[in-house]
Structure 1
Amino acid sequence: MPIRTITVPVKNLDAAKALYTKLLGTEPYADAPYYVGFRPESGPELGLDPHGDVAAGPVVFWHVDDIKAEVDSLLAAGATEEHAIRDVGGPLIATLRDPDGNRLGLYQAPTT
C-alpha cells in the first residue's frame, strides 16, 4: 500500500498553483477549479484542494485495490470515518482518522 498522493488544502488555488509549479519545476497535469494535480519526476503526486480543511493540513493518500475492504478493515482496527467513500470523477476516495485523530486517505483508481 504505497503512499502515492498528498493533497494540500488551499485557500487561494491560483496562488498555490503558481507556488507549487515553481517549487516542483513542472506544470500541473490536472488543472480544474476543484483540484490541481502535479506529478513530479520523483515522489508522490501532489494535489491542491480548494475545498479542503486548511486547518487540518495535508492528507496523505494510500493507493489501494479495494477501498471498501480497506475502509472496513481500518474501521475494525480502530479508525473512525471522516468522509465516506465517494467518487471524485472516476477515482474513489475516503478519509479516516486514526485513534489519535490524525487524518489518512485512501484512493482507489478507476476501473478500466
Structure 2
Amino acid sequence: MKICGHGTVLALTPLGKGVFMDIEVKRMSPTAVEMLDQLSAVCKRFGVDYYAASQNQRDLLDSIALHEYQLKKAHEQGMKRSEVPPFLGLKRSDRSNDMPA
C-alpha cells in the first residue's frame, strides 16, 4: 500500500493465486461529502435503502438531494429561491420565489 499526495491510496489487492489488481482510492472532495450527507438524509427521511432501490427511485432520490443541497448552499449565501433551479422543472409561485432559500 502506498499513500500518494492529496490522500490518494494505491493498493495491490489479491484476486487469486498470483493475481493482483491495482486499486486507486481518492479522498472525496468536501462538496462530494456534503452531497452524500444530503442524499443519506433524504433516504433516511423517506425510509429508503438507496442500494436496494430501483433505478427510478434512485433517480428521484438523487434529484431531491441535489435540489435540497442547492437550496442549502443558496441559503448560506443569502440568495432567494428564485436563484435556484426549480425541482424537476416545476413552476414555483411568486410567493415561493421571493422567499429566502
Both structures adopt the same fold (TM-score exceeding 0.5): no
Highest relative contact order (Cα 8 Å, sep 6+), 1 or 2? 1
The structure that has the greater radius of gyration is 2
TM-score, normalised via structure 2 length = 0.30
